[in-house]
Amino acid sequence: MGEKTSIEGRDQTYLLPAQSIRVLSLVPSDANDIRDASAETFADIDQRAFRSNLFTVVGGVLFTLAGLLALLAIVRVVSKFRKPVEIQEQLIGDAAILRGVGREFSAIRRQREDGAWTEDLVSRALAALRVAATYAAGGRVGHMPAGAEGTVEEGRLILRTGWPKSKRIAVSGSMTQSAVARALAGASTNGAGRAQRLESLAGALSAMTAALYGREEKLDEAALDEALASGVASLGRLKLEQTWVMKRLAARRAASAGDTRPWSR
């Protein structure tokens, strides 16, 4: 007889030929619950992994968009409570600028009394007149930090502000004779005094511009003296208009009349 193998059943032991035995599964003898293996393949597992990665990417993109929207909302809220850029970047006040114009007029007059008019004096007077005319027309005066001491700032009025360490500020006005004439066209509704100042400043600008850029070799000193005097005469009223009280009154009158003309700061 050939070799036999014993197999223990639940109630008795069987002896079978060794060649006829085929092992189907190996389980512990005390196992009481046997389940079949899952029917999923490696392709199914790969597909699930791909979906998981896709959902992770989509979630990251949505999270990023939510963060950007939240940041935009914060910026908009903060911008409502920030001061206007014009006020934050204002390096020198209007009253200080007009005081500087007055000092420049006085310095030019003293030098004129000591000698004749020169192109340098005319250029300085024209720069100061443009600043005064800009205020008279209700415009905005430009200002920026000036260069180092000795730097040429043609067409700009150099002022100092700050204490104890002062800063050099370059101030410039954009008004020309034609621009003042356009402002003069609408000045009749704002009183005869303003129209008269604009006319005086327009004549002064015309005289200074002709002397500096005209073809005449000899300067008309009488016309230049008159132009300087017109600028000095107009300056007093301009200083008064740029005080805090007068600005408030002008703003209230403009609001009540529905005036949308751009006044100075």
Mean predicted confidence (pLDDT) in 228-242: 86
Element (H, E) at 100: helix 94-114
For residue 7, what is the enclosing H or E element? strand 4-8
Q: How does residue 56 score in pLDDT terms, banded at 50, 70 and 90?
A: very high
The answer, yes or no, to whether residue 258 has pLDDT greater than 60, is no
Kindly state the average pLDDT of the residues 69-82.
Answer: 82
| pLDDT, position 88 | 43
Residues 98, 232 contacting (CB under 8 angstroms) = no
Share of the chain above pLDDT 70, in %: 73
Which residue did the predictor score with more confidence, 4 or 35?
35
Question: Looking at residue 264, what is its pLDDT?
Answer: 46
pLDDT level of residue 147 (50, 70, 90 thresholds): confident
Domain ranges of the chain: 46-82, 90-257
Output the average pLDDT for the chain: 78
CB 160 within 8 A of CB 170: no
**pLDDT band at 187; cut points 50, 70, 90:** low
Please report, for residues 33, 36, 37, 49, 129, the alpha-carbon distance to residue 40 in angstroms, rounded to integers and kept in the order given: 21, 12, 9, 13, 91
Compute and round to an integer the Cα radius of gyration of the chain.
45
**Among 162-166, 193-197, 251-255, which is the least confidently predicted range?**
251-255
Rounded Cα–Cα distance for residues 248 and 244 (Å): 6
pLDDT, tens digit, for every residue of 12-27? 555 555 555 555 556 6
What's the average model confidence in pLDDT over 90-112?
A: 89
Distance between CA 227 and CA 105 in Å, rounded?
A: 11
Tell me what pLDDT residue 95 has.
86
* pLDDT for the residue numbered 199: 87
Instruction: Name which residue leads in pLDDT, 221 or 191.
Output: 221
